[in-house]
Amino acid sequence: MARSKREWTEEYVELVVGQLLRSGVIIASIIVFLGGILYLIRYGADYPQYRIFSGEPSDLRNVHKIIIDVFLRRSRDIIQFGLLLLMMTPVARVVFLLVAFAKQRDRTYVVISVIVLTILLFSLVGRYLYN
């Protein structure tokens, strides 16, 4: 499967980026949809409470807790896990471009990709650093 430098053409990179984005959105949507059905079965008859902002409980804020709770099959966590996959889709796209630029020996764009990735990761896990 290893591709030589010549095979990492612009067309190949464009194709993979397109497929990556599409599959990320489709998989995330399916998970959110399934979680949504479970959620409506469980909470459908309750009353929504969005007028007053209280913030989500900590198990819906932290990446590792969302992932653990998916295995406990809690509907709200399944939705949140799907949303997390969706948020990671653009991040995965930047990671792939980083690899592609490295294979193309394009040093400037490797650096640019690393900068963007650092900012994205700071946003997703930065909470642990600044709080």
- How far lies 121's CA from each of 22, 107, 128, 131, in Å? 22, 21, 11, 15
Taking CB under 8 A as the criterion, which residues in 66-105 touch another protein?
Answer: 76-77, 79-80, 83-84, 86-91, 93-94, 97
**Which tokens hold the place of 72?**
């406990």
- The DSSP code for 58 is G
Per CB under 8 A, 125 contacts another protein: yes
Residue 90 beta carbon to another protein: minimum distance, rounded to whole angstroms: 4
- Contacts for 22 with CB less than 8 Å, ≥ 6 apart: none
C-beta neighbour count of 101 within 10 angstroms: 20
Q: Which is nearer to another protein, 3 or 41 (CB)?
A: 41
Q: Which is nearer to another protein, 4 or 58 (CB)?
A: 58
- Contacts for 126 with CB less than 8 Å, ≥ 6 apart: none
Q: Which residues bind another protein (CB under 8 A)?
A: 10-11, 13-15, 17-22, 24-25, 28-29, 32-33, 35-36, 39-40, 43-48, 50-57, 60-62, 76-77, 79-80, 83-84, 86-91, 93-94, 97, 108-109, 112-113, 115-116, 119-120, 122-127
